[in-house]
Structures are given as structure tokens and as C-alpha cells.
Structure 1
Amino acid sequence: MSDPRIIVALDFPDAKQALALTDRLEPGSCRVKVGKELFTAAGPHVVNEIMAKGFEVFLDLKFHDIPSTVSNACKAAAGLGVWMMNIHALGGRRMLSAARQAIPAGTAKLIAVTLLTSMERSDLNEIGLNGDPQEVVQRLALLANDCGLDGVVCSAREAPRLRQIMGKGFCLVTPGIRPVDASMDEQKRVTTPRQAIENGADYLVIGRPITQAADPVSMLKQLNNEIEEGMGFKI
């Protein structure tokens, strides 16, 4: 695949387990995500090791701080050579704009997290965000787009409306993807891979259904096949 749609979430407590899985996977079949757990345990070195194997890395650290701190963090992430990084849209316009200025368009992809897929309306009410999740996600996506970001992280359930509003050039990255017969775990707003592609998602972040499968390679192939069916042509 020239542009793999699946991003395998390497949510492991140490580099050894993450590298063992990447040894079994083909870079052409997926990209990989390094998040807070693995990055905190293993640091930038594990990112370098994974990229040396040929994988493109989504650095999922959800930077959310004052504008200057986020700007400098984004510059450091870009210096690692990652394919994509994210910041949190709830940081507001000044923070989003500072991050965009730090990462020139056309280099690493810069996307914003809208709402975590573990959140539902009752969670939003508790923290004072008005509206249902789809309304809040739409508001934050419009803000990210206005600040020049490349796209957002959103639930695949919100993807159809965002794709309609944002057009084809805006990148939609969707976590909370589960095969039809899989457990939802703590995710609340989930869909299958095929549904996510049909809903307009560009990239699907998939963790446990692959990483905890008896045969991760076969599971990745199965999910890629589902995506091909959803797209209506071979990718």
C-alpha cells in the first residue's frame, strides 16, 4: 500500500514489546502510533528505532500548554522526523496558531485532538462544554481548520459531517475502531473499519484488536481487506 490507512497504536509499557511487534509487521501495510505510555517509558530513542525499520510514526502526545511551550514541543517532534503529531484543540486559537507557525505546512502533518473518544455527553456537561459531542467536535474542527492545521482526530461517527463541511483536503484521523465482534473496552463512540472509511475517515488508529490478537499480522491483513471493501477499490 502506498498510503496505508491503518495506524497501529503501539500502546506498550516498554520499547521491547513495541519493537517486537514492529519486527513482525511490514511498513507498507501500516503506519504506527507512539503515544504517552511508550514515549514516557522509552523516549525519543524508540521513535528513531521504529523509523529506522521503515515505519512512518504518528507521535500522539496531545500537546496542550501555553503557546510557546507547545510551539517548542512541536519543533522538537518535527526534529525527530515524525510523519504526524497532534495537539489538543481545547488549547485555543493562540496555541493552535503557534503550533502551526512552528511546523511549516508540507512537513510533518499537524492535527488537533477534538474530543477523546472515551467522552460522552455527561462528561461534557461536567466540564462545562455545551452541546452534544458532535457539536463540540465540529466547533473545534472548524477552529483547527481556521488556524491552518492539516486535520483533526475525531470519532468515525462524526466523520461524515466533518467531511461534508471541511471537504476532501482536511485530514480525519479516527480512533475507537473495532472489528465487528470486538470488545469496546472504554471507548464510547466506536465504529468498524469499513464504516469509518465509508464515513470519510482518512486514517484509522487501531490498537488492541491488532496488538493483542493471537496473530497480529493476520488481523492487520483482515482489517486492511475490510478497508479496501469500504473504499470500493484496492489501496
Structure 2
Amino acid sequence: MTDPRDRLIVGLDVPDIRTATQVVGELGNTVGYFKIGYQLVFTGGLELARDLVKDGKRVFLDLKLLDIDNTVAKGVESVLAVGASMLTLHAYPKAMRSAVAAARGTDLCLLGVTVLTSMDENDLREAGYGETPAALVARRAEQARAAGMGGLVCAATEATAVRRIVGPDMAVVTPGIRFAGSDQGDQKRVMAPRQALEAGASHLVVGRPIVASGDRREAAEQILADMRRST
């Protein structure tokens, strides 16, 4: 997977289908991978996902599933009908095992969400965890590998450690991609595109730096150019 366009996932974190369609249209063939999360799913995002797949685009459904085993499995089965390439769930061992069983024999890449990039050690402590983000991410990575997951979502700052745990074949998907000096928004653990790839990321998720740009295609091209500089 050497073409950066296969590794850059644009987050369609917008309020409605009209805006999402506009973003996709403006980017054209520059980008062929799109993430659809809660904000868009609740306003027709699943229908858009099906349309994107029909148009030859790849879709990453960022739904972060977590429920009892049967509900997770049935959710995965429903997602398979959409044709998405990637699906997230929280990296709890039982949920991951249920999802893997439901997706067995398909091309759906299941991604375990480790620690959200908007969270730091204080946030984890408030949530009742006694570990640092790095320690919890490492534990979740080991559990995801054991469950047979397709990959993980983690901050780029943890990508090297995760890659060391999961080996060369699992996907390591990193949000929180920002150029130095740019607005980090609510992200707390960030890294530039080239650095993230060199740290071990297989895919980069970029939302606001592209979607909120005055020239979305140019913003995507700048990120792709930086990705091409990775060694």
C-alpha cells in the first residue's frame, strides 16, 4: 500500500448529507476513502455510505460499537450489508471477539478503538482508569491481536508501540493529524502526517484540517504531499 491516497481517510464530520456530498465532490479523485461517524449517520449517513461504495469509494464507519455480545454481532452483520471497508468498536475483549466471529470470511476490517485522542491521563483518571493512555493502549492492542481484529485506532503518538505489539499486518489507524502550529481543536495527542506514517500508522484520519478549509482539495493535497515524504 504505497499510494498515500489509499492511506488518507477524510472524516466527513459535517451536519448533513448536502454538505458531505459537497465535500466529496470538491475532493474529486484526490481522496477515495471517507469516514462517516455519529454526526452524519443520524442524518442519512448510511444511505450516503452505500452511494459512496457504489461510486467506487471506500467507507470507514466510525460507529464505536459496544454492547452485549449478540447486539454487537448483529450490528456487524448489518454493517456488512452496507459494504463498508472499516468499522470501529470499542476495544473491549468480549465485544471484539463477538465482532470478529460475525465478520469472519468477509473483507470488513474491524478496528478496536483504544483511547480517544481527545483524552489524556486526567481524563482517564476521571473515567475510573488507573493507567496512563500509553499503558491502556498497549493492553488494548494485545487484546485486539488476540481477538483476531483487523487493526486498531490510536493516537499517532502511540503508533510505534502499537505496531511493535501487533506486527506488520494489522491496520493502525491514527486520527488527530495536525501540522505543527495548526489549531489542535479538541485533540490532545497529535502528530503531523509524515511523522505518523513513520511512527507506524497504516492510515491517517483527517477531518477538520480538510473539511473546514477554504480550499479542501488544496488542503488534502498538502497532507498527501507530506505523506509522500515519509521514509
Provide the TM-score with structure 1 as the length reference.
0.93
Letter in 2 for 1:153: V
Query: Which residue number in structure 1 is paired with residue 67 of structure 2?
Result: 65
Pairwise mapping of residues 195-234 of structure 1 onto structure 2 (< 5 A)? 195-230=195-230, 232=231
| Offset of residue 45 of structure 1 | 1.0
1:195-230 C-alpha deviation (Å, 9 max, x unpaired): 101101000000010001111111111110100101
Amino acid at match of 2:86: M
Distance of 2:109 and 2:217 partners within structure 1 = 27
Deviates more, 1:166-175 or 1:105-114: 105-114
Question: What letter matches 1:111 in structure 2?
Answer: L
Say yes or no: does 1:126 pair with 2:129.
no
CA distance in 2, matches of 1:185, 1:71: 34
Q: Residue deviations 1:9-57, cap 9 Å, x none?
A: 0001110000111112234634100000000111421111222332100
Query: Aligned to 2:23, what secondary structure does the other structure show?
Result: helix
Any residues of structure 2 matched to 1:104-123 within 5 Å, and which? 104-123=104-123
1:174: which partner in 2?
174
**How far apart, in 2, do the equivalents of 1:38 and 1:72 lie?**
21
CA separation of 1:77/1:106 partners in 2, compared to 1, >3 Å: closer, same or farther? closer
Q: Mean alpha-carbon deviation: is it higher for 96-105 or for 25-34?
A: 25-34
Question: How big is each residue's C-alpha offset from its partner over 1:95-115, in whole Å with a ceiling of 9 and x where there is no partner?
Answer: 211100100255111111001
* Structure 1 match to 2:27: 25
Cα offset, 1:170, TM superposition: 1.6
Q: Match for residue 40 of structure 2?
A: 38
Q: In structure 2, which of residues 51, 54, 65 is the aligned counterpart of residue 52 of structure 1? A: 54
- For 1:43 and 1:199, the matched residues in 2 are separated by 32
Pairing 1:15–2:17 present: yes
Percent of pairs with identical residues = 35
Aligned equivalent of 2:138: 138
Partner-residue secondary structure (3-state), 2:99: helix
Structure 2 vs 1, CA of residues 124 and 159 (structure 1 numbering), >3 Å: closer, same or farther? Answer: same
Instruction: Supply the distance in 2 between the matched residues of 1:68 and 1:157 (Cα, whole angstroms).
Output: 34
Code of the aligned partner of 2:88: N
Give the deviation of 1:68 after TM superposition: 0.6
Q: CA RMSD in A?
A: 1.4
3-state SS, counterpart of residue 191 of structure 1: coil
Letter of the structure 2 residue corresponding to residue 10 of structure 1: L
Which deviates more, 148-157 or 51-60? 51-60
The separation in 1 between residues aligned to 2:14 and 2:55, in whole angstroms, is: 18
Which is further off, 177-186 or 198-207? 177-186
Per-residue CA deviations over 1:112-167 (Å, capped at 9, x if unaligned) read 10011111101111122122100000001111110000110000000011112221
- Three-state SS of the structure 1 residue aligned to 2:6 is coil
Gaps of 5+ in 2: none
Unaligned runs of 5+ in 1: none
Distance 1:210 1:147 in 2: 34
Does 1:152 pair with 2:137? no
Q: Which amino acid aligns with 1:101?
A: A
